[in-house]
Structure 1
Amino acid sequence: MYKSRGWATGWSVARLAIAALIVAAIVAQFLSTTTNAAAEGRDMPTTVANFFSYFTILSNTASAAVLVAAAVWFLRRGRRVAPEPPAIAAALAWVTTYMVITGVVYNTLLRAISIGPDTVGWSNEVMHVWAPVFLLIDLFVGPNRRRLPWGAAVGAAAFPLVWIAYTLLRAPLITNPTNGLPYWYPYPFLDPNDGGWGSVIPYIVGIAVGIVVVAVGVVAVGRRRGIRVSPSPRARAA
């Protein structure tokens, strides 16, 4: 465990730097997507809504926010080395889970698929490779890690399940602004129009299981290297 004040300060600055890089990557891709859509006369509200319906965009946005929160919490409190607040610790565990899943799914299922002309290369790599790698490293070496209860791993599944439900309910109601099809799915493996639901359901189950497994692993690592928090005298008396 890295408990020195210098290390914690340096890593907090690194968290801020990575968060800034993630935000820059999201903004660059957003500008490229909307500029291309405007040039081709696509429906802009739908284009913007679709952009923020990608799990990659949502998980990267959440990761940037959590990294900033963790860094600011440490730097504003006099840089004393102590365990993170429970909310920040849980949020870090969850976004780490989402980013690891994002990196694995992209690099195993989506990298070989041709990308559109509006894709910003460096932004794509930041969101799908470098940011997930940083969050994974942060899990093992980041300072101030708090030991979380195992229930935190279950909490990590809430957002992906809500996102999948949202995606599947919304997709048939949206006209694809690119090709005019009466549906839009952010990822081909969620689209039942090609291979039917028999091809989609295994992916959903696999992703759900993967999220739980990764979340359990993230919490396990955090519990192994996390700072033990002694109960307060009042709690001990109770």
Structure 2
Amino acid sequence: MLKQISSGTRAFCAIISLLCIAAIVLQLSMSLPGYADRERTLGGFLLEYFSYFTIQSNLLVALCTGCVALSGFNGKWFTRAGVLSAVAVCITIVSLVYNLVLRSTFHPVGWARVADELLHVVNPVLYLIFWAAISPKAGITYRGTFSWLIYPLFYIIYILVRGALTTKYPYFFLDAGKFGYPQVALNIAVLVVVFWLFCMLYAFIAQRITGRKRQS
């Protein structure tokens, strides 16, 4: 269903999209010298860089908000209520996992710190504001949220297959070479449960917001 949006909303969405793109490019430029020192190929570096869930999630945020800024909520894939909500869950997990589990293991400085904060704090917060205040939520059901798990599950499968072939894992808790598959399977089970709980939470919030709008 086509939903018209104001110029202010378009501008806000455009800002989020541009910040995500800027953060991805900035982090890319900060990471490239280190990979070049290891005599890695450019293709191998880019494949590894874009294998991070953080980068992929910020890219999805950029695509969603960019499409809304350009065309409004026109019913196409990246402007659908379910897709926008699924991306909200992904970027929430990115922020929570990094800030609660991984932040103490990284100490970026300078522009690397700027990119780090944009990717893990600023962009997630701005997108959640967009989702809560602007994104359409009509038609979101608890049953429908199971489709939101498809992308994270495919991502995990991809990481495990890629890790088995290259021995490289983007996140330590998925490193089957270091911890073994039984422990990694347990870690994955915990992650899936966390994802599912957030899917349920966001569906609950969406239904509450939709209900209040109908009553007003």
Once the two structures are superposed, the pairs formed by residues 140-155 of structure 1 within 5 Å of their partners are 140-142=132-134, 144-155=136-147
The alignment's C-alpha RMSD in Å is 2.6
Question: Shift of residue 201 of structure 1?
Answer: 2.1
Query: Could you list the per-position Cα deviations for residues 82-132 of structure 1 after superposition, in whole angstroms to 9, with x for gaps in the alignment?
Result: x76374212110110100010111111111113579981111111111111
1:112 is paired with a residue of what secondary structure? Answer: helix
Consecutive unaligned residues in structure 1, runs of 5 or more: 75-82, 175-182, 229-238
Change in Cα spacing, 1:9 to 1:145, as seen in structure 2 (3 Å) is farther
Q: Which of 210, 219, 229 matches 2:194? A: 210
The answer to which structure, 1 or 2, has the higher relative contact order (CA under 8 A, 6+ apart) is: 1
Name the counterpart of 1:79: none
Once the two structures are superposed, the pairs formed by residues 1-238 of structure 1 within 5 Å of their partners are 8-74=6-72, 85=75, 87=77, 88-114=80-106, 120-142=112-134, 144-174=136-166, 183-226=167-210
Separation (CA, whole Å) in 1 of partners of 2:142 and 2:108: 41
Separation (CA, whole Å) in 2 of partners of 1:68 and 1:199: 39
With normalisation by structure 1, the TM-score equals 0.78
1:157 is paired with a residue of what secondary structure? Answer: helix
2:31 is paired with a residue of what secondary structure? Answer: helix
* Overall identity of the aligned pairs, in %: 27
Separation (CA, whole Å) in 2 of partners of 1:185 and 1:120: 21
Separation (CA, whole Å) in 2 of partners of 1:118 and 1:162: 34
With normalisation by structure 2, the TM-score equals 0.85
Give the structure with the larger helix fraction.
2
Separation (CA, whole Å) in 1 of partners of 2:110 and 2:169: 18
Consecutive unaligned residues in structure 2, runs of 5 or more: none
The one-letter amino acid paired with 1:193 is G
Separation (CA, whole Å) in 1 of partners of 2:124 and 2:9: 16
Conserved in 1, the CA contact under 8 Å of 2:108 and 2:116? no
Separation (CA, whole Å) in 2 of partners of 1:201 and 1:104: 20
Which deviates more from structure 2 when the two are superposed, residues 29-38 or residues 113-122? 113-122
The one-letter amino acid paired with 2:17 is A
Conserved in 2, the CA contact under 8 Å of 1:147 and 1:224? no
Separation (CA, whole Å) in 2 of partners of 1:118 and 1:169: 35
Which deviates more from structure 2 when the two are superposed, residues 206-215 or residues 40-49? 40-49
Task: Report how many residues are paired.
Answer: 208
Question: Shift of residue 144 of structure 1?
Answer: 4.5
Conserved in 2, the CA contact under 8 Å of 1:29 and 1:120? yes
Separation (CA, whole Å) in 2 of partners of 1:58 and 1:196: 26
The one-letter amino acid paired with 2:181 is W
Separation (CA, whole Å) in 1 of partners of 2:99 and 2:140: 29
Change in Cα spacing, 1:145 to 1:36, as seen in structure 2 (3 Å) is same
The one-letter amino acid paired with 2:28 is F
